[in-house]
């Protein structure tokens, strides 16, 4: 059974990796789907994010993960991949309220598409990519939120 784990992953956090590892234990294949949203001012290009995720997967020795990027609607990507299951991580109630509505819209647009929710590990329940980007923009210490290899790439981006 395959599952899609979509997101911007800009940057990849330890919270993302926790979800990826847990999904890899539950499914035959985990498709990490990087949203290419040209309307957002991203820190890393899609190609850089792909490289970062590939490196993290190698470090964790995960073998059932594939990485893809997509534009537009997740439901169209899911159809193209012939997958009817999406996984989302939830940090708290606010995430749930937002994600449940998206899940309902997606299942309306693609009959049979299901969304499962995984609760974040409490150690990462407060970590977000946008928060990491903001801390890094002010040259703060992001080492508690990302892997050493991601921290290095962030420092290169912000020249510190």
Q: Please list the active-site residues.
A: 16, 40, 91, 129
Binding site feature residues for substrate: 8, 40, 74, 88
* Contacts of residue 152, Cβ cutoff 8 Å, sequence gap at least 6: none
Closest CA to 26 of 83, 60, 64: 64
Helices and strands in the chain: count of H runs, count of E runs: 6, 5
Distance CA 86, CA 70 (A): 14
Binding site feature residues for ATP: 8-9, 16, 89-91, 99, 124-130
To the nearest 5 percent, what fractions of the chain are helix, strand and coil? 50, 20, 35
């Amino acid at each position: 059974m395959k599952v899609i784990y979509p997101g911007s992953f800009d940057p990849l956090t330890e919270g993302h990796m926790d979800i990826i590892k847990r999904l890899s234990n539950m499914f035959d294949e985990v498709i990490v789907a990087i949203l290419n949203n040209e309307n957002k001012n991203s820190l890393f290009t899609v190609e850089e994010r792909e490289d970062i995720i590939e490196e993290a997967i190698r470090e964790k020795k995960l073998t059932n993960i594939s990485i893809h990027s997509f534009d537009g609607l997740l439901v169209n990507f899911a159809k193209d991949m012939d997958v009817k299951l999406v996984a989302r991580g939830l940090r708290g109630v606010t995430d749930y309220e937002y994600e449940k509505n998206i899940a309902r819209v997606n299942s309306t647009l693609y009959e049979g598409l299901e969304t499962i929710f995984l609760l974040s590990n409490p150690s990462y329940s407060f970590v977000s990519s946008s928060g990491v980007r903001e801390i890094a923009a002010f040259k703060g210490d992001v080492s508690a939120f990302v892997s050493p290899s991601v921290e290095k790439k962030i420092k290169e981006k912000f020249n510190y």
